[in-house]
Amino acid sequence: MSERLIEILISSFPKILLPGLLTTIPLTAISFAAGLVIAVIAALIQFANVPVLKQIIRFYVWVIRGTPLLVQLFVVFYGLPSVGLLLDPFPSACICFAINEGAYASETIRASLESVPSGQIEAGSCVGMSWWQIMRRIVLPQAFRTAFPTLGNELISMVKDTSLAANITVMEMFMQTQRIVAVTYEPLALYIEVGVIYLIFSTVLSRMERFGEKRLSVYGKR
């Protein structure tokens, strides 16, 4: 490894890390939070067998899970302007990632809701609880404990998927790396470097996920 390459890697590290902290992490956090809201609503609609709305949710999940995320990004950012709806790159990415996550997470949460014994729901009804009180106090807490590991994995996947936002000009880590590569002509070393940064982010989230699982397991035993 030449001195020039070492200098490039050292100087490029903060240049790549900064967009990661200022763009990649906020993009992930906003998209995942919004996606969870969508997922909970979609899962509850399916769990409650709401007429018409359940079929709409199933269609939404079918379309989103059956099409590539990159295509969805292009439809929102490059396609919607043709019908008069122009969005900036970052909001476009947030919308796409949230809608995509909502479809996948809704199935995870729906399965977790259905794993709660029906006897607990009946017991809640017997003591006079409303449907929403049963969901909020009995079903959802148990469902989230069951779904937590899978949702944690989806969050880690989203951190890596944010690299696709470079295709719609979002200045995140991968796009910044591409710009540095265009100047330095050192693709191998720089792409490995950005891969290491993604690995660091994923490792931190993995540790947080394990800590959360332990806390939930302790809470569930109380």
pTM assigned to the model: 0.91
Supply the pLDDT for residue 217.
72
pLDDT of residue 221: 54
**pLDDT on residue 220:** 55
Query: Mean pLDDT for each consecutive 10-residue tract of the chain (222 residues)?
Result: 90 96 96 97 93 96 96 95 93 97 96 89 85 87 91 95 95 95 94 96 93 76 54
Degrees to nearest 5, angle at CA 197 with 154 and 94: 45
- Domains in the chain and their CATH numbers? 3-221 (1.10.3720.10)
15 Cβ contact partners less than 8 Å away, ≥ 6 residues apart: 176, 180
pLDDT at residue 218, as a whole number: 65
CA-nearest of 118, 78, 113, 77 to 96 is 77
Q: Which SS3 state, helix, strand or coil, does residue 117 take? A: coil
Q: Which two tokens stand for residue 70?
A: 């990159």
pLDDT at 206: 94
Long-range contacts, 181-190 (Cβ 8 Å, 24+)? 184/8, 184/12, 186/5, 186/8, 189/5, 189/8, 189/9, 190/8, 190/9, 190/12, 190/16
Phi-psi region of 151 (alpha: psi -120 to 50; beta: other; left: phi over 0): alpha
Give pLDDT, residue 127: 85
pLDDT tens digits along 80-110: 999 999 999 999 999 999 999 999 999 999 9
Q: Is the torsion defined by CA of 204, 205, 206, 207 positive or negative?
A: positive
What confidence score (pLDDT) does residue 219 get? Answer: 60
